[in-house]
Structure 1
Amino acid sequence: MSILNLSAYKFVTIEDGPAWRPLVTERCNALGLKGTILLAPEGINLFIAGPVAEVRAFIDYLRGDALFGGRFADLQFKESLSEKQPFRRMLVKLKREIITMKKPAIKPELGRAPSVDATTLKVWLDRGHDDTGRPVVMLDTRNAFEVDVGTFEHALDYRITKFSEFPEVIEQNRADLEGKTVVSFCTGGIRCEKAAIHMKEVGIDHVYQLEGGILKYFEEVGGAHYTGECFVFDYRTALNPDLEPTATAQCFGCRAVVPAEAQKSPYYTPGKTCPACHPDAKTGNSQAA
């Protein structure tokens, strides 16, 4: 597998995003990379892929170029390999937030919520409590369709459809978290970091974020205490605990996740329709193509 996939984020003040955007775009295009990079006043979030040597060169560029004034010198990346390029084009976007919560008072660079690494979390889940004896509850901060692809065993899932719903959902379900050690998690760490900070700010004690999210957990300890796959926002759709692409697909008609079994349906046409959106699915027309 010759394509290196990277994901990374960092909450750090960025004042020069508009000036950086064309320069970062030019460097990515020169290296033949594809993916998405988000630049916002609160930080950077990226998902890119390309040949290994070129991706390594981009890592060096972000960490060392004088343009960034050392902001990304400690940027940590999650890596996986694939046979094919999972992105169609290269985009560098300017955003208000690198992950939208609509809570502008949250400034993660001023202080992170406590984090737990994958190895420690596995120990906690093995025995059912943390080092103090408090029960551990896993809190999935992702959207419902992502959770349906796979999640931690017994994780709390509030069926959110977008991350900006998270603060209200937590207010409605505080009783689920009282007296427990809460570990928020997501795909790569960015949502669960903001989620953990919000919970601390509203007075929920004993909150941790899973460092590096599900992908880092897979990388370090595999699939222990996890059921299913991990949805990713590229054309691989989902990864197994070995960080390998799976047979799960996504419908480009309605964006629904289509498991391997559902792909056998006469309503599934790659790139067009699936059982969730095909016009004949509701009427039960088995002759659908």
Structure 2
Amino acid sequence: MSRQNQKDLADEFFAKDDTESSVDFEIAFAALLATAVITYPISNAEWLGKLAAFSVLTITLVRRIAIASPYAPVKVIMKRTIWAIEFATTVCVIILLYSLSEYLSGIYGISEILVFSITSPTLLMVLVVFQEFIFRDYLIWWYAKFDEKQNQGDKFAGLWGDIKIIAYWGSRARKDRDSWKRISKYVDTSIPDLSEIDINKKKFFGKVLIVVVGAILIGVPSIILGISSGNNFVPFALPGIVFAHDHSCYQYVAYGSNSYEEFRKPVWKLSIWAVIYMLVFLTMTEQLPIV
């Protein structure tokens, strides 16, 4: 199938019946983030937390007004505020994770940035497991995401297909009768059982390694920026920052009013955004190199 036919698979899985209800989720999510950021501020650059909290609330309010107004250019406003809500939400999440890192650093007496580098991916992964266990929707999101990647037809199509199969068989949505009724018409029901799949482990992990190297190359500009701060731990914070961004986008695709297509970015944009988030991180940790 063409990319055009496959690009909205995630949107089919998370189809919303009511746009207003979707934006209401955004309101609740923004209120939670803003309240948490103000309640648990970071010791450095506290102004950044206030700005992020104010921004996420303001942008969400603008989007809700656009939906409520019978005369507003809804599609234009919603489209043009995507990058802003994505950025403000991610910054709020990063600030919350760093606030926790500061607290743990004070207890154990180790570098706050090192704590962030370890705890942020770990906590976000715990959140992923929690969401899959309670809401049964994260692995079906992975199915859609890697199905789209597989259908691009690049040299990693086999790897994306293997990950898609693993996500399919691990998904709790597949095991629930009501959930299965919703997604069965969109998934490839001819997917073989895991026990029937003969995955060449050497090739599989070889491709995984190549993808990891590729991801590192995409992040080279932000890694160099981190190194320039003079703190050797800063570059190790990048995976947590990227994971925070990815999970923030997922929340809006799954429960908000945005589509997966609206969050998809080419490689060069990913590299630029990684630099921007690293600049934010350096600012909040007061590690920004003085030019």
TM over 0.5: no
Pick 1 or 2: higher relative contact order, CA cutoff 8 A, min separation 6. Answer: 2
Alignment TM-score, normalising by the size of structure 1: 0.28
Bigger proportion of residues as strand: 1
Bigger proportion of residues as helix: 2
Alignment TM-score, normalising by the size of structure 2: 0.28
